[in-house]
Amino acid sequence: MEYDFQAIEKRWKAQWKSTDAYRVEEDPNRTKYYVLDMFPYPSGAGLHVGHPLGYIASDVFARYKRHQGFNVLHPMGYDSFGLPAEQYAIQTGQHPAITTETNIKRYREQLEQLGFCYDWSREVRTSDPKYYRWTQWIFSQLFESWYDIAADRARPISELVQALESAGLHEIKPSCDAKWWENLPLEIRVKWGEGFTGDLKSSQWLDASEDEKSQILMQFRLAYLADSEVNWCSALGTVLANDEVKDGLSERGGHPVQRKRMRQWIMRISAYAKRLLDDLETLDWTESIKEAQRNWIGQSQGAEVQFDIAETNHKLDVFTTRPDTIYGVSFMVLAPEHPLVLEITSPAHQESINQYQHAASLKSERERQGAGDQSVTGCDTGAFALHPMTGKKLPIWIADYVLAGYGTGAIMAVPAGDERDWKFAKNFGLDIPAIFDGKDTAESVFTEKTAKLCNSESLNGLSGQKAIPIAISMLEAKGVGSKQINYRLRDAVFSRQRYWGEPFPVCYENEIPRLVQSEQVTLPDVDAYLPTEDGEPPLARAKREAWNVFEGDRMEFNTMPGWAGSSWYFLRYMDPGNETVFCSREKSDYWGQVDLYIGGAEHTTGHLLYSRFWTKFLFDHDWIGFNEPFKQMINQGMILGRSSFVYRIQGTNQFVTFERRKEFQTQRLHVDISFVDGDTLDTEAFKNWRADYADAKFILGEDGSYTCGFEVEKMSKSKFNVQTPDDLVERYGADTLRCYEMFLGPLTQHKPWDTKGISGVHNFLRKTHRLFAQADEGTPDEKSLRILHKTIKKVSDDLNRHAFNTVISALMIGVNELLDSKGHQKELLQPLAILLSPVAPHLAEELWEVSGGIDSVMDAAWPESHDKWLVSDRVTYPVSFNGKVRFQLELDATMNAKEVEDAAIQHEKTAAQIEGKTIRKVIVVPGRIINIVIG
């Protein structure tokens, strides 16, 4: 009987559906295992062959764990808010919900086609109000929380209020901006006086009005409203990401983009910087991803130093990692946006400063940070700072290499010891004080901490490493500085000026925000998915009646970013239908962390950081019992496309085959890979492709066919190299596609997609089918048993280390050898069907039945290999001379090293190798190798 994959796959899919085979429930008697794929965005194009790679791997692993008796949670859902649907809505007026629904339907069909063992009853969609209700709830909780630095965790804002009422800010330290009071309106600060430095008294708090209290609390909330610099594009009425801006213009449309301060919701992720950094140690992720997160969080240790500004009362704070070089400071540099610039610039410099600030505001953050061009720019303010130790006057400049958002937005420049400062000093002719003994820093910068300091008073003679703590205590003693740990990690902007996202459960009264708690806020209908004419987000178009709940003067017009819904979705899968909590504690205690997370590496610093942050927040409130979401993660590589090309002779409609293309002047054109089999073009299909090719002529090769050229590149529609799984599933079946994607190579590596090899894998399944067709009740011989147990061991070991590609080879070898040894007894075939089941589940069910298995193969216990069948009593040793293998020697496995050595030396072929030379040494690794050193 032929391997009729279509009938087999149809039959078992129906069977699984009718028995609800993938339904999982909590079961206290079994150990859980949670396998998760990264949340897909359901795009209109559907899945291409690159997508399922990770899904197949996780599915294989989930099935393997199920065989091992684990209670496996393996869910799937959709990150269904997002820009493409909104873009489509702008163009067509179709509600994004409709587009999204259509796309999800297509995704679902494709996913089901591949036979994944998802428990679809747990499916979630971020755009479903029943889901985003809880995203909104988590936002509310962040709004209602502050971060207690001493306790190192989030706490309810009510506890902060209590503390403020009884003792002010004296005894507690909330995470906040270093000078949080400067964000408050002047009226409040006036009441507290000039010298206010953050030590809020309970009397001052009790004295404040309700509005004022709300504004003060805003400085400490974990979700807070503040002004933040954004790339504003007024033509598009929206904010753009750094990489959507090119040369000061929007990438789409080429409209001018300007840096602008906008009031936005922000997440105080910086409060969690240290924990996010430290807890990386507990994760089984690749070192490269962990390292990238470390760099992103960017902890640096150093000191904050205060400089007085000459002839004013202003003070300038800077952060430095090199307080030891304090005597090398020769000027100061502020970010162009630094609030002090306005106040200190001398009238003579005012105009050039204004110009420079304007120019800087037109640059994107990326451009400011140099992307490519290393030219040094800056502008003198005409003001001077006073050196805290020497009192020397130091000119204050502004330059765009100093970023407002990092540290204090100002630096003390030490040209002798810092690359950028040195270049800046050289460029503008500023002093470069020599502070390193024996280093000529007028000629080149010296950035290491190894040289002994000079011209540095009490620090003289010390190396930088030793001088740092001494310099800090010196600064502390003088009251002009203190030890400080700084993080590069910035608070995350949480507002988007878009329609298709979660609405905030927030309304405004006198522009003071408060939570809407009477009812869930759902997305209102709008007449268009565009910003309003005065640049308000699309939600500002919603009429009052369009909101299902309307409180205060107005509702919040922003929506939440894409990462909101995806930061906690792994929790919702545990308890998808719960209408009273986001996930019951009982269920999250049972399912716990994701044991294995599979997805691309492109989410390294976005999703993977934010979901860690939210997990820690939920943990702080004891709503879940673990503080990291994803225990182990594997990042799959990208699947690249294989493009095919035809060669058109210039100026004609004639196409020349690949081998002969050099004989003519040709243009290389992409051709749709669906007309190409191997590299051979279906010329008829090609002619029917497009009208202008209808009368194409071909110069063929010797074999009478047209051969295409090829190249490996990213899969994309415009390159006509996109392979969808659909037609492959139709031609070969889902099991073949699953096996083939696994067989292609290591999961984590990038690899070209090439269907050439798929027939080999398909062939393997056919051979397997053929082997089982001969199933009988006999007793297997020893040879076959050895093959089986070798295969069990190899497949199990490889699955354990996620080497899915070699799992397939091992199965191929096993099947080939069993066909050879006539090992078709049911006793052998049943375990073999189980081994096959994770990778080719449909065929495995069929074969399980054929070989007399009971119930579904999915729940059959994973076979164990027995040493009895693995160890052999004979060993074939390679015998090498000076490392070169010369012959094989079969010996008894029980022989010890000395006996093996003697046997090797006495062997007749050894004599021929020695030939006059003497044996210097013999190395025997029992069971492995013999090496005889001669000379």
Partner RNA sequence: GCCUGGAUGGUGGAAUUGGUAGACACGACAGACUUAAAAUCUGUUGACCCGAAGGGUCGUGCGGGUUCAAGUCCCGCUCCGGGUACCA
Tell which residue, 61, 117, 114, 116, has the closest CA to residue 737: 114
The upper half-sphere exposure of residue 594, i.e. CA atoms within 13 Å in the direction of its Cβ, equals 30
Q: How far, in Å, CA of 597 to CA of 594, rounded?
A: 6
Smallest gap from Cβ 755 to RNA, in A, equals 9
x/- string (CB under 7 A) for RNA, residues 193-222?
A: ------------------------------
Q: How far, in Å, CA of 731 to CA of 746, rounded?
A: 25
Q: Select from 103-111, 210-218, 312-320, 557-565 the region that touches RNA (CB under 7 A).
A: 312-320
Q: Select from 72-80, 583-591, 667-675, 811-819 the region that touches RNA (CB under 7 A).
A: 811-819
Of the chain, the end-to-end C-alpha distance in Å amounts to 63
318-349: b (≥16 Cβ within 10 Å) or e = bbbbbbbbbbbbbbbbbbbbbebbeebbeeeb
x/- string (CB under 7 A) for RNA, residues 700-739?
A: ----------------------------------------
When binding is defined by CB under 7 A, the residue of 116, 743, 772, 862 that contacts RNA is 743
Residue 319 as a binder of RNA (CB under 7 A): the answer is yes
Smallest gap from Cβ 298 to RNA, in A, equals 5
When binding is defined by CB under 7 A, the residue of 161, 262, 403, 895 that contacts RNA is 403
CB 39 within 8 A of CB 77: yes
How much of the chain is in helix, strand and coil states, percent to nearest 5? Answer: 40, 20, 40
916 dihedral zone (left: phi>0; alpha: psi -120 to 50; beta): left
Residue 899 neighbours by CB distance under 10 Å: 14
- Quote the crossing angle between the two packed helices 841-850 and 758-773, to the nearest 10°: 10
E strand or H helix at 17, and its extent? Answer: helix 5-19
> Please, which of residues 913-932 interact with RNA by CB under 7 A?
921, 923, 925, 928-929, 931
Smallest gap from Cβ 510 to RNA, in A, equals 35
667 forms bridges with which residues in the sheet? 648
Beta strands in 446-556 (DSSP E): 481-487, 492-493, 506-509, 512-515, 554-555
Residue 598 as a binder of RNA (CB under 7 A): the answer is no
x/- string (CB under 7 A) for RNA, residues 459-488?
A: ---------------------------x-x
> Please, which of residues 273-292 interact with RNA by CB under 7 A?
286-288, 291-292
Q: How far, in Å, CA of 418 to CA of 62, rounded?
A: 52
649 forms bridges with which residues in the sheet? 666
When binding is defined by CB under 7 A, the residue of 214, 809, 895, 907 that contacts RNA is 809
Which residue's CB is nearer to RNA, number 323 or number 505? 323
When binding is defined by CB under 7 A, the residue of 256, 370, 469, 625 that contacts RNA is 370
Residue 745 phi/psi, 5° resolution?
Answer: 155, 180
Q: What angle do CA 423, 424, 426 make, to 5 degrees?
A: 65
Which residue's CB is nearer to RNA, number 489 or number 833? 489
Token reading at 543: 């009429």
Which residue's CB is nearer to RNA, number 402 or number 539? 402
Token reading at 442: 């007028």
When binding is defined by CB under 7 A, the residue of 297, 389, 728, 812 that contacts RNA is 812
Local structure of 653: helix, strand or coil: coil
Token reading at 922: 């013999």
Q: Output the CA–CA distances (angstroms, integers) from residue 451 to 300, 422, 425, 474, in the order listed.
A: 21, 17, 21, 20
> Please, which of residues 881-900 interact with RNA by CB under 7 A?
882-888
Q: Select from 46-54, 69-77, 298-306, 517-525 the region that touches RNA (CB under 7 A).
A: 298-306
> Please, which of residues 412-431 interact with RNA by CB under 7 A?
412, 418-420, 423
Which residue's CB is nearer to RNA, number 322 or number 452? 322
When binding is defined by CB under 7 A, the residue of 144, 244, 754, 781 that contacts RNA is 754
* Cα of 35 vs its chain's centroid, Å: 17
Local structure of 366: helix, strand or coil: helix
When binding is defined by CB under 7 A, the residue of 93, 254, 339, 757 that contacts RNA is 757
> Please, which of residues 517-576 interact with RNA by CB under 7 A?
none
Which residue's CB is nearer to RNA, number 332 or number 560? 332
When binding is defined by CB under 7 A, the residue of 454, 813, 891, 905 that contacts RNA is 813
Which residue's CB is nearer to RNA, number 13 or number 907? 907
Which residue's CB is nearer to RNA, number 334 or number 583? 334
Smallest gap from Cβ 285 to RNA, in A, equals 12
Residue 57 as a binder of RNA (CB under 7 A): the answer is no
Q: Select from 153-161, 557-565, 744-752, 860-868 the region that touches RNA (CB under 7 A).
A: 744-752
CB 917 within 8 A of CB 907: no
Residue 750 as a binder of RNA (CB under 7 A): the answer is yes
When binding is defined by CB under 7 A, the residue of 50, 395, 409, 641 that contacts RNA is 409
Smallest gap from Cβ 747 to RNA, in A, equals 9
Q: How far, in Å, CA of 639 to CA of 744, rounded?
A: 10
DSSP string across 570-594: HHHTTSTT-SSSSS-HHHHHHH-SB
> Please, which of residues 334-363 interact with RNA by CB under 7 A?
335
When binding is defined by CB under 7 A, the residue of 40, 52, 302, 823 that contacts RNA is 302
Smallest gap from Cβ 289 to RNA, in A, equals 8
Which residue's CB is nearer to RNA, number 234 or number 295? 295
When binding is defined by CB under 7 A, the residue of 9, 324, 798, 845 that contacts RNA is 798
